[in-house]
Amino acid sequence: MLEARRHAAESAHTGVVLAAVLAAPALAALTALGAAALGTAFLRGVVTPPSRRAQDVRVLAVRPEVHEIELAASVDTAVRGGFSLWFDQGRGHARIGRLLATGRGRVVRELGQVDRGTLRPGARGRLNGWLLLSPRETGLPFTAEEVPTQFGAAPAWLFPAGGEGDVWAIHVHGRATTREETLRGMAAFHRAGLTSLVVSYRNDGDAPSSPDRRYALGETEWRDIDAAIRFAERRGARRIVLVGWSMGGAIVLQTALRSSRRGLIAGLVLDSPVIDWRVTLRKQARLNRIPAPIAALALTAMQRPWSAALTGQSSHVPLAAMDLVERAGELTVPVLLLHSVDDDFVPSGPSEALAAARPDLVELVLFHGAGHTRLWNDDPALWESSVERWLAERALSRSGSSARK
């Protein structure tokens, strides 16, 4: 009897071990498939223009009679300076002013104009740094233009400087936003005497889309900025300053390296720019709670030609070749970098590294507590004075040109 029980126990143990051995490859395969799916979803999210935006800001109270609004406290709602609150899935818009008070789980801010919709307690929305919703709000004369590009006519706004100045600025917005993002900076360039061209580019919702309807992180978008340079040249531009915000900075840098008309480019002004996509995307992966090994594999895969089948792109994105710290030696024009050290979306480290690598050409102005692309909102005087001084020192402004003569 004891012998029979022993044999039964051994058989049961052997069965468990055998089952585990047989199951291990299946579990490993499932784990690998899960990791691949997670990595693919992350990459597709990076290159796919969003159809809906996260509504991660909660309105707690609205007091229009005293021009106040209470918002649930967060890093974004407690920043200095004004911003836009988009609510009701973007159908509503309100202008939010300075921070008045903070309390447990809430902040009180100035409530400016509610341009669209009805703002009520309980509403959810999202924030961005826009303060001007149309070129008319700049108070500057402008015309609507169309820039001929590879895929058709791309809408643009032209702000003439007046006079006979031949220095132009071409303004390039960032990922998942549109031309209005750049309007905050228009006054500084106008005072400096530059004509400004505010452009759209493929897949941004304004310009014609590419066949794949995907972002290429600057790898292809630069061609539309190259087209804008040609447009400006036909209109009389002889020197051009490229101005890029966030991903627009990456696009501008690719234009400076690759444009056949780069001889016209006299300088770059970059606000919160992507200098090294690998650093930025690793940060994005952490924010999205993607395990580091999966993120690393995804970024490696993104640079392989076969990755286009996963992302829906027409071709892969060579992230390593777009690292401007590694390619700093190829820069030939002066660069003004504006970045906040606490930028939790596009880290400032690569901007600092680029400035250290090319102190002869690159000037870095660091902000503190401004976040991502809200530097102007945080300290408009510092932003505008930095830009105007930099332009003047390089004889790219009306005053700088006069001083040089």
Give pLDDT tens digits for 169-224: 999 999 999 999 999 999 999 999 999 999 999 999 999 999 999 999 999 999 99
- Check the CA dihedral 107-111-114-115 and report its sign: negative
Reply yes or no on whether the pLDDT at 6 is more than 60. Answer: no
Contact 142, 204 (CB under 8 A): no
- Which of the four pLDDT bands, split at 50, 70 and 90, describes residue 388? very high
> What integer best gives the mean pLDDT of the chain?
92
Question: In which residue are the tokens 């040249």 written?
Answer: 233
Q: What is the pLDDT of residue 83?
A: 96
Contact 231, 246 (CB under 8 A): no
Q: In 117-264, which ranges are E strands? A: 124-128, 143-149, 152-159, 167-172, 195-199, 239-245
Contact 251, 245 (CB under 8 A): no
Q: What is the pLDDT of residue 398?
A: 86
Q: What is the pLDDT of residue 400?
A: 64
The DSSP secondary-structure symbol of 79 reads -
Reply yes or no on whether the pLDDT at 404 is more than 50. Answer: no
Total number of residues shown for the chain? 405
Reply yes or no on whether the pLDDT at 279 is more than 80. Answer: yes
Tokens describing residue 159: 């702000």
Contact 147, 199 (CB under 8 A): yes
Strand 143-149 relative to strand 92-103: parallel, antiparallel, unpaired? unpaired
Q: What is the pLDDT of residue 381?
A: 98
- Which of the four pLDDT bands, split at 50, 70 and 90, describes residue 317? very high
Reply yes or no on whether the pLDDT at 344 is more than 60. Answer: yes
Percent over 70 (pLDDT), the chain: 90
- Which of the four pLDDT bands, split at 50, 70 and 90, describes residue 403? very low
Comparing 329 with 9, the larger pLDDT belongs to 329
Q: How far apart are CA 185 and CA 196, in angstroms?
A: 10
Number of helices and strands (H, E) in the chain?
A: 11, 14
Contact 94, 88 (CB under 8 A): no
Strand 152-159 relative to strand 143-149: parallel, antiparallel, unpaired? antiparallel
- Mean pLDDT on 300-304: 95
